[in-house]
Structure 1
Amino acid sequence: MASYFVRLCFLIFLLSFSLQAQIENKKSHFMPKKTTGSYEEKKIKALYSLYNKGLEKEAFNKAHQILKTTKNNRTISSANLLLAYYFNKKAVIDSSIYYTYQSLKFNTVENDSLKIRLYSLAYNLLATNYKKRGLLGESKKWHLKGIEVSQKYNEKNLFYTHTHGLALVYSELGDYKNALKLFKQCLAYKEDPELIYGSYINIGDIYSAQKEYEISNQYLKKANILCQQENNHNCKAVIAISMAGNFEAQHKTTEALRLYNEAILIADENEYNQIALIARLSTGKIYLESEKYEKAKTIFISGLDNALKLGLLHEQTIIYKALKDIYIAQDDYKNAYHYNDKYYKIKDSITQLQNQKEINELDVKYKTSQKEKEIKVLQFENATKKLTLENQTEAIKNMLLQEEISKKINENTILFFQNSSDKKRNEISLLKKDQQLKALEISQQKETRIITIIAFLLLLIPITGLLFQYYKRLKAQRLVNSKQAEISSQKINTLLKEQELKLIKASISGQDKERKRISQELHDSIGGSLAAIKLQLNHVAKSNFSTIDSINKQLDETYQQVRNLSHTLLPKKFSNNKFCEVLQSYFNNISSASKLQIDFHTYPKKEINDMNEVIQIEVFKIIQELLTNTIKHAKATQIDIQFNLIENDLNILFEDNGTGFDTEHFTRGIGFINLENRTKQLQGSFLIDSKLKRGTIINIEIPITSDANTINDVENELYTNTIL
C-alpha cells in the first residue's frame, strides 16, 4: 500500500495541470492573433471564445453544427480539437482520443505555422489522455514528439508545455532526478503562471515521495498562494490531496481525511471526475489500513464503477488490488481470487497497449540531442582557449625575438645586416612550420571525415536491416490483427442477432398474452352488455320510458368499460415512477443484453419528469424506435442520448458511432415514417445528420406547451392504437 500512496500522489497533478495548465491555458494561443480573417476563422474564434468563457455546452453544440455544415479542413480540424478538449475535461477519455485523431486527420494545410501549433497541441492532448488511462509509455511518446516539433519551429510556450508533461511521466516512472531537472527548468518560463504553480506542486509531490515532508509542504504552500490568486479550483483540489497525503504518511489520519473530503467537495462541484475518484480511493486506503473493511469495500466498489465508466486503467489496478486485500483479510478467498485475476488482466492489457520500442527510440533521440548540444558548447570553449594560448605563445616568441634583435643592434652595428637576415630566416622557418601544421590539420580532418563516413555506413547497414525486419513483423502483425478483428466482429454480430431474436420472441409472447386478455375482457364484459342491450331494443316498442333509461345506463356502463380497458392497455410505469428513471432502467437493460454502451444525460431532470404523461409516452416510443433502428442497422458500440428542456421545448439529441448512411440516397422505411409522424403529431421537428463511417446524429425538438386539443388528439390516437 505504500507504493500505492506514492503512485497516487503523482497521478494527482497528471489530472489537473496536464489538462488545466497545459491544455486549457494553451487553447487560447491556438487561435490566430489578428482580429481580421476569413469567415471560417471567425467562426472558430467565436467557438473557442465561448469555451474559454465557461459556456462549454454551448460551444460543444456549435462545434457539432459547424462539422455538419463546413467543408474547410482547417475548420473541421479546429472544431474536432475543441470537442477533444470538452471530453478531456469531462474525463471521457475514449471520446477525447477519438476527436484528437480526427483533428490530426484533417490538419492538412501545407507550410502553415497554425498547422504546426495544432500538431503540438494535439500531441499534448493525446499524451494527457494516455496518462489518465495509466499508459505512461504512450504518454511519454507523444510528449517527446511534441518537444521535437516545438523545438524545430521555435514554439517556446509549447516546448515548455511538453517538457512539463514529460517531467510528469518521469515522476510516475520513479525517475525523480530527471523529473526534478525538467520541473525546475519549467520554473524559468515566467509567461505561464499555471505552469509555474503546477511545477511547484509536482516538486512538492516528489519530495513527499522521498519522505522530505517539510520541503514538500514549502513548495505546496507556494503553489497554493498562486492558486488563490488565480482562483483555480482544480489547483486547490490537487493541493488539498497532496497535503493530505503528507499528513497520512505522518500517521495524522484525522487531518488527512479532512483534506481528502475537502478535495472531494471541490471536485464534485466542478465535475473533476478523476480527482474526486483519487480522493475517495485515498480515504478507502485509510479505512483499509485501519481494518474498517466494510467502509473500505463500499468506497472501492463505488470507485470501480467510476473507473470503468471513465476508462481509467491505472485506477482499476489499484482498486482490484485493494479489494483482493480486503477479501483476503475477511477470509473470502473466492472473491479475492476473482479480483486478483482482474488485476493481472488489466496489467497485461496496459503492457500490450504500450509500444516500448518506438518510445525508447524517441527517448534516446531526445537525450542524445541534449548531449550533442552540451558537447558542441564544450568543443567551442576548448577551441577558443586553445586559440588564445597559441596567440599568447606566438606573442611571447615575437617579444623574445625583438629583444634579441635589439641587444644585437646595441652590441654591434656591424652585425645589423646579419641579424636582419637571421630574422628573415626565422620568419621563413615559422611560416614553413605554420604551413606544415596546416597541412597536418587538413590531413587529420580528411582522416576524421573518412573514419566518420565508414562508421556511419557500418551503423547504417544493421539499422537498415533491423528496420526491414521490424517492417515485416509489423506487417504480419497487422494482418493477424485484421483477421482477429473480422472474427471478433462476426461473433459480436451473431450474438447481437441472437439477442434481437430473443427480444422479438419475448415481445410477441407478451403481445399474444395481451391479445388473449383483451379478447376475454371483450367477450365477458362488453359482449354480454351489448347482447342485453340488443334484446331490450327488440322489445323497445312494447316497453315504456323506464326501459329506455335502463338501456341508456347499460350504454354508459359499456362505454366506461371500453374506456377503462383502453386505459389499462397504456403503460403505467410513468405514473408509478419518474420518467427519467424509467428511461435509465430501460437503457441499462438494453446495455446488459446487447453489450451496447448507452450514455443518458438530462437537464433539468425535475421539469422533464413533470411533463405531460401523453408526451412522455410518445417520447418513450420515439426513443424505442431509434434504438431499434440502431441495433438493427448501425452496428454501433456507443450511443449518446441527451434531453435538454429549453424555453418549454424538449430537445432530444441522439448520436451513435455506427456505420452511418447517405441521407440523400436511402429508402425511408416504416420506422423512419413512424418517427416523423409521431414528431409531427406533437408539432415537433425531426432532423437527421449522417455520413458513411462517421455515425448518425438525430435532433428532435418537441414543444411541451401544446394546446389542450393537441394533447387530447394525441391521447385519443394513443388509446385507439392501443386497442387496435
Structure 2
Amino acid sequence: MKRQGWLLGCLLFFSIGVLWAKDESDLCILQQQAAQDKSLDSYIKVCKYLYQTEEDADLLLLYADSIHQLATDSKEPEHLVEYYIWASEGHCIKGDFERGYALKRVAIALAEKSRLKFEIAHACCDMGYYCNAEARYDSARHYFRRGLKAGEGLAGAEEVCRTMLTNYASSFLFEGRTDSALVYTIRASERSAADKDTAMLIENLNQLGVIYRRKKDLENCIYNFEQALHLCELRGNHDAIAFIYGNIATAYCDWNRPKDAIPLSKKAMEYALKTGNKRRVGACYVNLGAIQIRVAEMRAEGITALLKAISILEQVNDRHLLCDAYNYLVNAYRMDGKLNLAMEYLQKLDKLAHELQTDAERFRYYQAKAALLQENKSYAEAIVYYRRVIDMLRSGYKDARDYEHYKHLSECYLSMNNSSLAYEYLTQAYALRDSVFHTEQTEQLSEYSVKYQTKEKELEIVTLKREQLEQETYMLRHRIIVGSVISLLGILLLGSLYARQRQRARIAMLANAASEKEREFLELRKATELRLTRKYIDGLESERERMATELHDDVCNNLLALEMNIRTISSEESMKLDEQLGLLSNTRDRLRTLSHELMPPVFQYATLEEMLADYVLHLSLPENVHVEYHSTENVDWSIVPKCIGFECYRIVQEAMSNAVKYAGSACIQVELVLDNNNLSILVADDGKGFDVGRKNKGIGLRTIRQRAETIGAKVELTSAPGEGTRLKIDVLI
C-alpha cells in the first residue's frame, strides 16, 4: 500500500512538472539556462532568439554586456568579437545604425587580427546585408567577398556562406544589373541544392523568378516561381507562399495582364492571413490594391485595399511599405479626379521619401508626384520631377513607356510658354516612340525570318525522306531474296524443332507442377499466419481480462478499504484529509473505469451499436476534446455476428486510444454504418496526423490490421502531417 501511494505521488509530481514546463516560454527557458551556465554558448542562444524575434533590443544589449564581462574575465578574443557582433545588432534594432555599423567594423577587424574565420564570416555577412539595405551595393559586395574568403571550406560556416552568396547576387539585382544577378543567383541556387538547404533554395528560386520577370522572360519567370511554390508547400511555409504569389501577380502586371494577376494576388492574401504576420498581410494588401487600381471598374476596390494596407502598416511602423501604399493611392485618386485626396497622400509620401531605397521605388515616386503636380497645373514643380525621371532613364533605368515622360515634360514646358524646350522634348518623345515601333517591327521581321527558315528545313526533310524510301525499297528487294533462301534452310530445321518442341512441352508440364506446389505452400503459410494471429489476439484478450480483474478486484478494493480506514479518523483530523480523500476516491473511480474498458465486451446481452455508444458515452477524455458518435438508425444490429462485433469493438477502442494519446485533436468522429450485409466503421480526428508511408507505424496500427485480417475486413488508413487521421473498416457479415 505504501509503495502504491509513493508511485501515485511521483506520478502527480511529474504531471505538475510537465504542465509547468509547457507554460514556460522559449525565452524564459533560454534565460534560465544562461543564468545557470553563465557560458558564452548560453548567452549567444539568448541573443540569437532576441535578434530573430526583434522583441527587446535593450535586453539583447544587456546579454551582450554579459558576453563582454566574460571577455574581460577570460581575455579571450573570441568572446570580445561576439560582444561587438551582438551589441551592434542591438543598436541596429533600436535604429542607431551608425553605432551598430561602427561596432560591426570593430568586430571584423578584431576577428581578422585574431584569425577567427567563423566570426569574420558571420560579421561580414551581417555588414553586407546592412549595406544592401542602404543601397551601398559596392560596399556590400566588398564585405561578402571578405566573408566568403574566410568561410569557404570552414566546418560549421556552410549556412552563412550560402546566405552571403544569395545576398551577393541580390546586390546586383537591387542595383539593376540583372545579367550579373542572374549569373550569381544560379550559382547560389546550385550551392543550396547541393547542400540540401531547402529554405535558401526557395529564396534563390524566388529571386530567379524576379530576375526573369525584369528580363521579360515569362516562361522562365513562372517556372522558377512554381518550383519555389512547390518547395514552400512541402514545408508548409505560408509566409513564403504569400510572397511568391505576390511576385507572380506582379509579373502578370508587367505583361499588361492585371485581370489575370488579381486572382493570384488574392491567393497571396489568403496565405498571408494564415500566417498572422501583419507586415506580410499589409504587403499583400498593397500588392492587391496596386493591381486593382489599374483596372478602371475595380479602382474603388483597389483604393479600399490600399487603405486597409495603410492601417496595418502604421501599426507595425513599416515605413518602407507605407511609401508604396501612399504612392499607389496618389495615382488612384489622381486617375479618379480626386486631386485633393491625391495631394493629401502625396504630402504623407513626401515625409517618408527618405525611406525609398531602390531605383524602382524612387522612379515611381518621381513619376507619381510629377503627374499629380501637372494635373494641379503646378508646371514648374512638375518639370523638376519629370527631369529627375528623365535623368534616371538616361542613366540606364528601363521603362517600356519612356517616351510618355518626355511627352509630359514637353506639355509642361508648353504650358509655361517655353516653346523651344517643349519642341525639343516632344521631338525626343516621338523619336523614342518610333524606336519602340521599329523594335517591334524588327522582332516581327525576325519572327517571319524564323518561320521562312523553318519551311526551308521542312522541305529538306521531305527530300531526305523520299531518298530514304527509295533506299528502303532497294533493300526490301534484297531482303526478299535472302528471305527465300532462309526459308529453304528453315524447312531443313523443322525436324530438329519438332524434337525441341516435345522437350519444351515436358519442361512446361514440370513447371506447372512446381507452380502448383508453390501455390499450395503459399496457402499453407497464409493459413498458418492467420492461426498465429488469432492465437496472439486471444492471448492479448486473456491478458487484458486478467489485468482488468486484478485492477477491479484487488487494487480498487484495496483503495476502498484505505478510504474507509481513513474516514474512521477523528473529525478534526479528517477535515484536513478531505482533499486527499477526494483524490483517493477519484483515483478509485478512474481505475474502475479502466478495468471496465479492459474487460471484453459481453455481446450476449447487447449489440455492437449499443456497446460502442456506451463506450463513447463513458469514455474519459482530456479537456477541449470531444467525440461525435453516429450510427445507422432503424436497422437490426443483432445480425452482426459476435466474433465480428467483438473485433470491431476492439479496433474502435485502439483507434480512439491513438487519437487521444498521439493526435492532439480537438474532435474525434465515430461513425457506424450497416447497409444490407456491409458493415462500415469510420474513426476520424482533426489532429496533427502522420506520414502513413513511414516504416515504423507502432504496435497499435499493427494490432488493428491483424484484427481486421481475422474477420476478413478491409482497412483504409489515410493521414498526412497537419491533416488529421481517417481510419475506415469495411466487412461483409
Question: So what's the TM-score if we normalise by structure 2?
Answer: 0.37
Q: Which has the higher contact order (CA 8 A, sep 6+)?
A: 1
Q: TM-score, normalised by structure 1?
A: 0.37
